[in-house]
Homo-oligomer: A and B are copies of this chain.
Amino acid sequence: MWAVTDITSLRERRRLATAAEIEATALELFARSGSEHTTVDDIAAAAGVSPRTFFRYFPTKEDAALGVKRDFYAAVSERIPAGAVGLDELSRATAEALASFSAAFQHRMVRVRCLAEHDANLRHRALLLDAEQCRQRQQHLGGDVHARLLVETLAVALNAALDDWATRRHHGEDADLAEVFRAVCARQRALF
């Protein structure tokens, strides 16, 4: 048991490389034929691993393409202060997290969002990840109705902003994610 082992041991690096290879392959095949007409065997063969190994990395074929979504949640979550209980506070922290994304990461996000837009399987799986994330944050904030409303109401704005932003980006517009999010939050507030 490697006391303070380096994050990049050989095994760790190989694992990450394999996961990345599978993810890239899945994205390419899904973009070509849609997840509906792509089998796990297809992805595994194209990525150079056995189907059995595929399932050691991802629980479903859709998950293989949604790595960026998990990274997104990780990035946002670590920017949110522990004791936040106000919508303003959470929105601001979220916007700051969005503003910190690298160009490469933003590009990955756009790609996957555009893919999911026309792919029901991907959309559904992404929805479950969203819900799971909301559940975790909600319990982290107390688990009562107030926490639920807070987390889910924010999630609505966040997802709407992400889709709006990705669409604009995909159409060539140079939209700023944090700015789009703030604008969407304002529109949501205006509903009341």
Chain A 138-157 interface 0/1 with B at a Cβ cutoff of 8 Å (1 = within) = 00000001101110110011
Residue of A87, A184, A188, A189 contacting most chain B CB atoms (<10 Å): A188
Closest chain B residue, CB of each to CB of A87: B191
> At the interface, yes or no: A19 with Cβ under 8 Å from chain B?
no
Residues of A in contact with B, size category: 20 to 34
Q: How many subunits of this chain does the assembly comprise? A: 2
**A124 CB-CB contact with B under 8 Å:** yes
What is the 8 Å Cβ interface bit string for chain A, positions 160-192, against chain B (1 contact, 0 not)?
A: 100010000000000000000000100111011
Task: Using CB atoms and an 8 Å cutoff, list the residues of chain A in contact with chain B.
Answer: 87, 123-124, 127-128, 131, 145-146, 148-150, 152-153, 156-157, 159-160, 164, 184, 187-189, 191-192
21 contacts between A and B (CB under 8 A): A87-B191, A87-B192, A124-B128, A124-B131, A127-B127, A127-B128, A127-B131, A145-B160, A145-B164, A146-B187, A149-B156, A149-B160, A149-B187, A149-B188, A149-B191, A152-B156, A152-B159, A152-B160, A153-B153, A153-B188, A192-B192
